[in-house]
Chains A and B, each alone.
Chain A
């Protein structure tokens, strides 16, 4: 049987998380169908059709599917589910909102935040905030999974020519759940916990004023600014900036640790980052043991230079 992938999109554009989900689904190994459900979402479906390796793009375009409310999308997915062995969605807030609802209606379990595919029914997923990895076998007839994007390379976005198949779906027009509004984050800097790039400073910065150096670098990169507990304790920055065991856990694509020695509490908060860069003048600093790229340098020279050369 085939695998149904739920596309992440905003009707106009397909979101990149879809591409990671396609890779995960491909690893399970079966015919891949991608569902684009929304209102006036043909554009997104068109982009989906260009992903190589799909057998089919299903387009469900209906007024009831506007904003893709879980209450409205789940009956559609449940209706389609009988033809599929697996239903896969990215572990985004929309995927995590929708799939448990789908699973419950199907009377099956849902596996969250899958990071590894062992076989068609066995998957790896983090538990205890990533401090343990569970290998779990599904006993249900339909496997419903959300997959963590950072664990799977994105599939190519271009090169395919998949046929788009429109499916007729007349959803319930009831207003038990009604969309009121959306507020896209417009803060100058992204939020620490969701930023794609994080620049963090430690006690090596020596003062709160020096954080301005990091802020300039962060602005150039579109990054959030974090701090180690030592920097917070020293009073350089307020404690909502703290990354680490007792502060925020971050897992950005790029984490740049500046003047941070790498106390284990800090490492606990950022070691899931995809790429770690450490800049520290002490070459013995433990942060280098986890950094993909380490630079032994005086940060007061290195950071302005980095900012210039980006």
Chain B
């Protein structure tokens, strides 16, 4: 079975993002970038399936500028077999990424597609679902467990207030939640080996997709700073305020 995983290059989760003084966007100049944490989980899950003998090949795909190849190399170091980089000038919007990925899926015919549930930059939580829609495939979003059996995949989903289990026919799209697994570290020898694994670069034009804009970013601001409230003198006053003013208990 072939698995396709998607990896996105994003700001490192340790780095505090800063809004540019002109509010045009956030400032990413010379900021540490990394693989989106949910994508790492996707790669890890695919590697575990391969190690369990359930998958034969893992294909890692990234969409974006040339530097995204670093993240594909990381995926290769973690255990993916080959990479496809769809090179674009900027990061296209989710729907366009899904359209590009759909073309790759049509050509590569993977039986399982694993994506992160969202990227920690745009926080969209869309690409997996959109990809499934475009390909008319079933989707298992926010997965916290995944089981392959009888030609189907059983996905345990983290939903509000509990867990839901779905059985999906293959091929299917699964998006990862935080608790699906704890990703491994790339070892140094594997990083070396990854440099020699195949990485193919494609353009949107080759795939027959012309990414377009669906939205316009007008402004980016820092969130309003929280202001201090009042001091209460006693527990009685606190309870009264919480009940009658804030109405939270």
Q: Do A and B bind each other?
A: yes
Chain A residues packing against B (C-beta within 8 Å)? 67, 69-71, 74, 92-94, 96-105, 107-113, 122, 126-140, 175-185, 194, 197, 221, 253-254, 271, 274-277, 283, 288-297, 302, 305-306, 309-310
Separation of A309 and B11 alpha carbons in the complex (Å): 46
DSSP class of A's interface residues: helix, strand, loop or mixed? mixed
Say what secondary structure dominates the interface of chain B.
Answer: mixed
A218: min CB distance to chain B, Å: 12
How distant is B120 from chain A, measured CB to nearest CB, in Å? 6
B242 close to chain A: CB less than 8 A = yes
Q: Given that A132-B223, A176-B169, A293-B241 are known contacts, is A309 also in contact with B133, CB under 8 Å in the complex?
A: no
The reply to whether A178 and B167 form a contact with Cβ atoms under 8 Å apart is yes
B231 interfacial contact with A, CB 8 Å = yes
Query: Is residue B196 contacting chain A, with contact meaning CB distance below 8 A?
Result: no
A236 to B141, CA, bound (A): 35
Given the complex, which residues of B lie within 8 Å of A297, measured CB to CB?
235
Residue B104 at the A interface, CB < 8 A?
Answer: no
Residues of A within 8 A of B162 (CB): 182-185
* B137, closest chain A residue (CB): A176
Residue from the list A93, A98, A104, A294 in contact with B134, Cβ < 8 A:
A104
A293 to chain B, nearest CB (A): 5
16 contacts across the A-B interface (CB closer than 8 A):
A71-B132, A109-B95, A122-B218, A127-B121, A133-B221, A135-B218, A136-B218, A137-B215, A181-B164, A182-B162, A221-B249, A254-B249, A293-B238, A294-B229, A295-B232, A306-B238
List the interface of chain B (C-beta within 8 A of A). 11, 16-17, 19, 26, 93-95, 98, 120-134, 137-142, 154, 157-169, 172, 213-223, 226-236, 238-239, 241-242, 246, 248-249
Write the chain B residue with the least CB distance to A74: B133
B235 close to A306 (CB less than 8 A): yes
A residues near B157, Cβ cutoff 8 Å = 93
Q: Once the chains bind, are B169 and A138 in contact (CB under 8 Å)?
A: no
How far does the Cβ of A139 sit from chain B's closest Cβ, in whole Å? Answer: 6
- A134 in contact with B246 (CB, 8 Å): no
Shortest CB-to-CB span from A246 to chain B, Å, is 8
Q: Is the CB of B161 within 8 A of A137?
A: no
